[in-house]
Structure 1
Amino acid sequence: MSQPRQIAPGATYLITRRVVRRHLLFRPDAAINQLLVYALAVSARRYGVEVHAVCSMSTHLHLVVTDVQGVLPRFLQFFHRLVALGTKVLRKWEGPVWDHEATSLVRLLTRAALVEKIAYVLVNPAAAGLVRHAKEWPGVKVDAGELGLGMLHAPRPGVYFDPKNPQWIEETTLPLTLPPGIEHDGAEAFRREVAAEIERQEAQAHAEVQRQGRRFLGAERASNVSPYERATSFEALRDRNPTFAVGRQQGDAWRTAAAAVRSFRASYRAALGQWCSGVRSALFPAGTWWMRTFHGALVNDAVLVV
């Protein structure tokens, strides 16, 4: 059984989902970029999710979002379904699009975590050895200077989205917002912090490529590979699945967050044990989503702290 996960309104997450068997189905080209932006924009609008950063790699997607209303599972189900079905039509692909592993959801609990993980998302193409500088990547992405300022827009794709269906509007836009806690009068300082972290991570990427005796693939070659090929670079087995991040040298914040996760899981399992024994008045801890949504379980929202 997987670990229970707290879904808290107003929480910010780093989200990662991978393509099945590392196929290059999201190879950056105009059609796939249009599909991804459109699907993300209509999904975010439907569920009130705020998008802060995004980077689409050929084999996976990264997002940093805030789940304002506490409906993240609904948003992900809708968004990932649109992307999968649109990709199957666009690429004439049979079978699943997404990897069998669960979507990675890492809750970002501090400013340091926001800076590090947003930079991680934006620097991903360089870290993967595809382009020397992240801003050169031709896939869907944002730059540090666009945080809280930029706007993604896309017309309705010519595949999958029926123009006669009113829910698929002709053109959609997606504003890039600042994460909670970053005030507009401090936005420029935040963007500078992210830019400095990008520079640090890109320097690490350059050093690693040089150490391995490799060269960066380049944007043009990355855009022209077959989407039916698979990535061949080494990838370590994903034996860890973190649920939160606090950033480097944030020991006290890490211990507080870890204690909160342990407390939630213990309370959840105690309530679930009661429920399985037939006690329908069992009170689940704040942030319980699945049991409330699908079974109408009682949830103690009074103590939920984001």
Structure 2
Amino acid sequence: MSHPREIAPGATYMITRRVLRRHLLFRPDAAITQLLVYALAVSARRFDIKVHALCAMSTHLHLVVTDVNGVLPRFLQFFHRIVALGTKVLRAWEGPVWDHEATSVVRLLTRAAVVEKIAYVLANPVAAGLVRHAYEWPGAKVDVEELGRGALRAARPQAYLDPENPQWPKEVTLPLALPPAVEQDSIDDFRRDVAAELKDQEAQAHAALHQQGRRFLGAERVSKLSPHERVTSFEALRDRNPTFAVGREQGDAWRIAGAAVRAFRASYRAALERWRAGVRSVVFPVGTWWMRTFHGASVTDLGLTV
């Protein structure tokens, strides 16, 4: 049984979803970029998801978002379905698009975590040895100077989406929001902090490639790869699926957050055991999503009452 996940209104997350067997289905080109941006904009507006950062790699997607109303699973289901069906049409692809592993959803609990993970998302093409600097990546992405003030725009893709259906507008615009953790800070300071972290991560990637005797592939060559090819380089098995991040040098924040996760899981499982025993009056901890949404279970505002 997988661990229950707390879905909290107002929480900020880094989200990662991978393509099946590391195929290059999201190879950056105009058509796939249009699909990804359009699908994200429509999905975010539908579920009131605030988007902070995006980087679409050839084999996976990274997002940093805030879930205003605690409906993240609904958003992900809708967004990933549009992307998958549109990709199947654009790439003439049969079979699944997404990897069979669950989507990685990491809750960002501090400003430091938000800064570090946004920089990580933006630096991904550099860390992968594809381009020397993040701004050179030709795929769907957000640049540092756009954080909290830019916007993603796309016309409706011709593939898959019905132009007669009103849920698919002709054009969409998605303003990029500032994460709640930094709204009270100086916006310029926030962007400078992300830029500094991004610069550090790029430098680390440069050093790693130099040590390995490798060169950056370059945006032009990346864009010419076949989307049906696969990445065949070694990739360590994903033996960890983190639930949260607090950032570096945050004192006791990691210990406190870990204790809160364990308490939620213990409370949830105790409630679920009673539910399975037929006690329908049991109250699940705040943040319970599946049982509340699909079974109408009661949820407390006190967190640990069962």
Q: TM-score, normalised by structure 1?
A: 0.98
* CA apart distance, 1:251: 3.7
1:73 aligns with 2:73: yes
Take 1:33 and 1:186, find their aligned partners in 2: how far apart are those partners? 31
Name 1:241's counterpart in structure 2. 241
1:157 aligns with 2:152: no
Superposition RMSD on alpha carbons, in Å?
1.0
Partner of 1:48: 48
Structure 1 counterpart of 2:140? 140
Paired-residue identity, %: 77
Report if the CA contact (8 A) 2:285-2:302 is conserved: no
Q: Return the alpha-carbon distance in structure 2 between the equivalents of residues 134 and 190 of structure 1.
A: 18
**Number of equivalent positions:** 304
User: Using the alignment, how far apart are the partners of 2:218 and 2:27 within structure 1?
Assistant: 13
1:279 aligns with: 279
Per the alignment, residue 95 of structure 1 pairs with 95
Within-5 A mapping of 1:84-123: 84-123=84-123
The equivalent of 1:265 in structure 2 is 265
Amino acid at match of 2:254: W
Partner of 1:26: 26
Q: 1:224 to 1:184 in 2, by over 3 A?
A: farther
What letter is aligned with 2:22?
A: R
Aligned to 2:83: 83
TM-score normalised by structure 2 residue count: 0.98
Change (3 A) 1:7 1:111: same
Is 1:230 the counterpart of 2:230 in the alignment?
A: yes
Say if 2:110 and 2:181, in contact at 8 Å, map to a contact too.
no
CA–CA distance in structure 2, aligned partners of residues 2 and 185 of structure 1 = 37
Q: CA deviation at 1:144?
A: 1.0
Per-residue Cα deviation, 1:257-304 (whole angstroms, up to 9, x for no partner): 000000000000000010000000111000000000000001002559
Distance in 1 between the 2:200 and 2:69 partners?
34
Q: CA deviation at 1:184?
A: 6.1
Residues in 1 aligned to 2:225 and 2:31: alpha-carbon distance in whole angstroms: 15
Partner SS, residue 186 of structure 2: helix
Partner Cα separation in structure 2 for residue 184 and residue 165 of structure 1: 40
Quote how far apart the aligned CAs of 1:185 are.
5.7
More displaced stretch, 56-65 vs 185-194: 185-194
Distance 1:184 1:257, change over 3 A: closer
Structure 1: state its 5+ residue gaps: none
Alignment-derived partner of residue 60 in structure 1:
60
Relative to structure 1, the CA distance from residue 184 to residue 271 in structure 2 (aligned partners, 3 Å threshold; closer, same or farther) is closer
What one-letter code is carried by the residue in structure 2 that aligns with 1:6? E
Q: Deviations over 1:112-138 (max 9, x none)?
A: 100100000000000000000010000
Q: Secondary structure at the match of 1:301?
A: coil
Q: Unaligned 5+ residue runs, structure 2?
A: none
Q: Which moved more, 1:176-185 or 1:98-107?
A: 176-185
CA distance in 2, matches of 1:269, 1:259: 15
Q: Quote the offset at 1:43 in angstroms.
A: 0.1
SS at match of 2:199: helix
Amino acid at match of 1:162: D
Deviations 1:236-262 (A, max 9, x none): 000000000000122400000000000
Residue 193 of structure 1 is matched in structure 2 by: 193
What residue number does 2:290 align with?
A: 290
